[in-house]
Amino acid sequence: MLRTFKVEKLHASLIPESTLFKVLRYVDKENIETPSLLIDSTRVKEKVSLIGRHIKNSKVFYAVKANPDIKILKFLNDLKMGFEISSEGELGILSSLHVEPERIISSNPIKSLKFLKLAASYGINYFSYDSADEVDKLSEYVPHCNVYIRLSVPNEGSEWPLSKKFGVEIDAAAALLSYAREKALNPLGITFHVGSQCTNIYNWHIALDKAKVLWNEAEMNGIKLTLLNIGGGYPINYTKNVVSIEAIEKNVNSLIYDNFPKDTEIHIEPGRAVVGDAGILVTTVIGKARRSDEDWLYIDVGVFNGLMESVGGIKYSYIVESYKHTKSKKRWTLAGPSCDSFDVIDKNVALPEPDISNLILILSSGAYTVSYASEFNGFSIPNTILI
Binding site for other proteins (CB under 8 A): 1-2, 4, 7-9, 11-13, 16-18, 20-22, 24-25, 28-29, 42, 46, 325
Give CA–CA dist 162/259, Å, rounded: 25
In whole angstroms, how close is the CB of 53 to other proteins at the nearest point?
10
Nearest to 383 by CA among 84, 145, 73, 70: 70
In whole angstroms, how close is the CB of 278 to other proteins at the nearest point?
12
Identity of the residue, 18 or 57, whose beta carbon is nearer to other proteins in the bound complex? 18
In whole angstroms, how close is the CB of 319 to other proteins at the nearest point?
10
Identity of the residue, 37 or 319, whose beta carbon is nearer to other proteins in the bound complex? 319
Nearest to 305 by CA among 377, 384, 374, 378: 374
Strand intervals (E) in the chain: 5-6, 36-39, 58-63, 82-84, 104-105, 126-129, 146-150, 158-160, 186-191, 196-198, 227-229, 265-268, 279-291, 294-299, 318-321, 330-335, 344-351, 359-362, 383-386
Q: Which residues are catalytic?
A: 339
Count of CB atoms situated within 10 Å of the CB of 89: 11
Strand intervals (E) in 13-90: 36-39, 58-63, 82-84
In whole angstroms, how close is the CB of 123 to other proteins at the nearest point?
34
DSSP secondary structure letter of residue 380:
P
Identity of the residue, 46 or 346, whose beta carbon is nearer to other proteins in the bound complex? 46
Identity of the residue, 11 or 193, whose beta carbon is nearer to other proteins in the bound complex? 11
Count of CB atoms situated within 10 Å of the CB of 56: 13
SS3 call for 279:
strand
Identity of the residue, 117 or 250, whose beta carbon is nearer to other proteins in the bound complex? 250
In whole angstroms, how close is the CB of 132 to other proteins at the nearest point?
48
Identity of the residue, 103 or 329, whose beta carbon is nearer to other proteins in the bound complex? 329
The answer to whether residues 180 and 188 touch, using CB atoms and an 8 Å cutoff, is no
In whole angstroms, how close is the CB of 29 to other proteins at the nearest point?
7
The three-state (H, E, C) secondary structure of 93-144, written as one string: HHHHCCCCHHHEEECCCCCCHHHHHHHHHHCCCEEEECCHHHHHHHHHHCCC
